[in-house]
Amino acid sequence: MSPFFTVTLITLAFLAAAWLASSWLLRRREQRSFAMIDSEGVDAELSQDAS
């Protein structure tokens, strides 16, 4: 294998790993914010029932 091919392969692998990590982190952050919104909505409904 030529050095150019090796460098290209490593660069592509690094970019793919960075893209997968960022998409996974964004997906986890969205799930966490959805969970917070859900719990706030439930809290609001409970306080209305109590009053």
Report the alpha-carbon distance of residue 48 to residue 34 in Å, rounded. Answer: 21
Examine residue 17 and state whether it is found in any structural domain, yes or no: no
Number of domains in the chain: 1
Question: How big is the CA angle at 26 (ends 15 and 43), to the nearest 5 degrees?
Answer: 175
Report pLDDT for 26: 84
Residue 12 located in a structural domain: no
In 1-51, which residue ranges form alpha helices assigned H by DSSP? 3-50
Domain assignment present for 1: no
The CA radius of gyration of the chain, in Å to the nearest whole number, is 22
Domain with 42, as residue range(s), is 22-51
Q: Does residue 14 belong to any structural domain of this protein?
A: no
Instruction: Walk along the chain (51 residues) and give the pLDDT tens digit of each residue.
Output: 799 999 999 999 999 999 999 998 888 777 766 666 555 555 555 555 555
Q: Is residue 27 in a domain?
A: yes
Q: Please state the length of the chain.
A: 51
Structure tokens that stand for 16 in this block: 């793919």
